[in-house]
Amino acid sequence: MDGRATVVKKPVPMKMLLAVLTACVVSVVAAGCGSASAGNPAACNNAGFLATQHAHANHAEVTFCGPVVRLRPAKHTRSGWHRYIYVDVGHNNSIEIDANLDEMGNFPVTVGEQAVVRGEYYYDNDGREGVHWTHHTDRASHPPGYLTLNGTTYS
């Protein structure tokens, strides 16, 4: 022999390989789901929204997705012009989105479009509920929201 030590590589056990692969996949998915970037469907958290709605957690920030199922005409309120869009969040449950047209502009929307919504859930004393603050804001105390329809983001 030439005096060098012989190195024998042991095969990596399949369980360890699967564990490492699983950890990598979980971390990538978690990173994608945690990023609530505008229009990112991976940011949707319909289960979280439904839990917020069930708890009537007023003023909770929510992000969810679903098809537009109903539209109401725009009307002027004390805080400006608003369009009312209803999005199905699953389980035959649609929620009203109060889109501030003065802040977001007069954007097109039709029933059947896929929506990604980021805003503030509200539940009023009279039982009325919805999501507002789906627009940009200059208030440091309030995070900006958005509404994405078929890939185009309005805020």
Distance, CA of 53 to CA of 66 (rounded, Å): 15
Name which residue leads in pLDDT, 22 or 67: 67
pLDDT band (50, 70, 90) for residue 85: very high
| Inter-residue contact 155 to 145 (CB < 8 Å) | yes
**Residue 35 pLDDT:** 40
CATH classification of 41-154, choosing from 2.40.50.140, 1.10.3720.10, 1.10.3080.10, 3.40.50.720?
2.40.50.140
CA distance 90 to 37: 22
Determine which helix (DSSP H) or strand (DSSP E) holds 60, and give its type and residue range: strand 60-77
User: Where exactly are the structural domains of the chain?
Assistant: 41-154
pLDDT by residue (tens digit) across 16-42? 333 333 333 323 333 333 344 455 665
Contact 79, 87 (CB under 8 A): no
Q: Is the pLDDT of residue 82 over 70?
A: yes
Q: Is the dihedral of CA 89, 126, 82, 80 positive or negative?
A: negative
Mean pLDDT for the stretch of residues 70-78: 95
Task: Supply the pLDDT for residue 139.
Answer: 72
Distance CA 43, CA 6 (A): 51
Query: Which pTM does this prediction carry?
Result: 0.72
